[in-house]
Structure 1
């Protein structure tokens, strides 16, 4: 029987602002892909054509695939006009086309001071508009379950993906984010959401204080999740997003050493369940 393998990726800007250093560290960890959130300190939706072309050349020269565009789309208040995020998604799609990926990470809007049920319709209107654009452009949106957005707990993530009902809107699964919302990720969410999961973002967290830790060192039920993915025949990306040194609502940072620790922690778990990372 052939051993299952997943393509190891990671958020390059958690390593360094310089994409050449990002790739070097990822390749030292045995990762053949990179997830692009920013380069040279510039968010991916703000990179110009020349910068995107330069990134593409670098990745081609180093033999590094792009697993996804880690866009900030939907990481804004739900009161923003629909057109605001549609225009930003157009830039994220341009980056995806330039860098040779069809995957774009997105979110489902903040709603501070209001109840989820009060913003549901506004969220769904925006998510449908984004999915419609993605469908026209031949890309797949991967919704991440970020804390404090509409889709931060399994029931509302399911609501989004089923209500929008588009093959261009799928899920990126993040165990640590669920822990930070008081959810046991695998126990509380996996069964109903698994059919929609196309992408794995890897970090772990402690339920006691929400602190982020390497995979397998927290309460994120990583082994159970990875085993279920293995048993389902998952053959996609496992993307490291360690958040081990510093993080804000806009993203996280680890540095090369901590990023390496996160990569080794994940490989320990995949070795344990018989999955190869490449």
Structure 2
């Protein structure tokens, strides 16, 4: 494990940017992933507030590994028009350039009541449209295995990669399988060559009733996933998203960075204990 690969989603630790930065630097990690500041999505910050974000991150010496968008997430079904997605992509692409990253996290849309065939067709068309726009901006969209048409099915993930071309790669969250009802390790084995970014969380429970726990203490086979990634030469970020306090889709935000810091130390332990060779 290379220490340079460690990062965390800032608002999982705290709402304010100074507290987000303080949590990441307390862990001694070099990377931060940005999603919201004081509860405001990064794309919705006005230019002056964004410039303050840029200066603060640079002053802390942190590397921005990814920007998390709302494109395709639980709040935007595929039946919604593409205007909001395109606007957010344009804004975040400019902010990628300012922050020195090329990655934007996306998802693949809830159905909005459409049947599977129409849902699939619209998602693939929308992703192709977005990937073309991303190519013009020089950024890469990272599809997360979460809610959406391709969220839990590796075959659908591969279809998405085909539709998006070189500007659509995969973000694999090792803990999402508990909430969405699949074996994360089995899916990761199938899609690993296309994975360029990793989120780390763990959970127990069942779909719709996941309870999040420290990495390695749940049923998501986090250790096995990390070991597989390292064994296959994965060189991207391991970005901590423990969900112990923060749950964006539930409107829950962190007020105490303690759980995030505990999860970070546990992630470090798991990576140190992940020898090559997967059983």
Q: Structure 2 length normalisation: TM-score?
A: 0.90
State the 1:252 CA deviation: 5.8
Aligned to 2:257: 256
Q: Deviations over 1:73-115 (max 9, x none)?
A: 1120111112331122111212212222111101111114444
State the 1:6 CA deviation: 4.5
Between the aligned partners of 1:130 and 1:250, the Cα distance in structure 2 is: 27
Please say if 1:12 is aligned against 2:10: yes
Q: Is the 8 A contact 1:243 1:252 kept in 2?
A: no
Between the aligned partners of 1:165 and 1:127, the Cα distance in structure 2 is: 6
Between the aligned partners of 1:57 and 1:248, the Cα distance in structure 2 is: 25
State the 1:157 CA deviation: 1.9
Q: Is the 8 A contact 1:6 1:235 kept in 2?
A: no
State the 1:65 CA deviation: 0.9
Please say if 1:166 is aligned against 2:151: no
- The 3 A distance-change label for structure 1 pair 231 and 166 is same
State the 1:131 CA deviation: 0.6
Q: Is the 8 A contact 1:55 1:99 kept in 2?
A: no
Aligned counterpart in structure 2 of residue 46 of structure 1, from 44, 67, 74: 44
Between the aligned partners of 2:269 and 2:3, the Cα distance in structure 1 is: 14
Between the aligned partners of 2:27 and 2:220, the Cα distance in structure 1 is: 23
Between the aligned partners of 2:212 and 2:111, the Cα distance in structure 1 is: 24
- The 3 A distance-change label for structure 1 pair 207 and 119 is same
- The 3 A distance-change label for structure 1 pair 261 and 117 is farther
- The 3 A distance-change label for structure 1 pair 197 and 78 is same
Aligned to 2:238: 238
Aligned with 2:265: secondary structure? helix
Between the aligned partners of 1:115 and 1:31, the Cα distance in structure 2 is: 44
Between the aligned partners of 1:252 and 1:115, the Cα distance in structure 2 is: 32
- The 3 A distance-change label for structure 1 pair 16 and 51 is same
Q: Deviations over 1:219-248 (max 9, x none)?
A: 111111111111111122111111112414
- The 3 A distance-change label for structure 1 pair 227 and 32 is same
State the 1:137 CA deviation: 0.8
Gaps of 5+ in 2: none
Q: Is the 8 A contact 1:242 1:262 kept in 2?
A: yes
Gaps of 5+ in 1: none
Q: Is the 8 A contact 2:12 2:246 kept in 1?
A: no
Between the aligned partners of 1:200 and 1:6, the Cα distance in structure 2 is: 14
Aligned with 2:196: secondary structure? strand
Q: Deviations over 1:201-235 (max 9, x none)?
A: 01011144421112111111111111111111112
Deviates more, 1:248-257 or 1:197-206: 248-257
Aligned with 1:141: secondary structure? strand
Aligned to 2:116: 116
1:8-87 equivalences in 2 (<5 Å): 8-75=6-73, 76-87=76-87
Q: Is the 8 A contact 1:5 1:235 kept in 2?
A: no
Between the aligned partners of 2:43 and 2:11, the Cα distance in structure 1 is: 14
State the 1:159 CA deviation: 2.2
Aligned with 1:145: secondary structure? strand
- The 3 A distance-change label for structure 1 pair 165 and 41 is closer
Q: Structure 1 length normalisation: TM-score?
A: 0.91
Between the aligned partners of 2:246 and 2:96, the Cα distance in structure 1 is: 27
Aligned to 2:200: 202
- The 3 A distance-change label for structure 1 pair 11 and 4 is closer
The size of the alignment, in residue pairs, is 270
Between the aligned partners of 1:111 and 1:165, the Cα distance in structure 2 is: 19
1:258-277 equivalences in 2 (<5 Å): 258-273=259-274
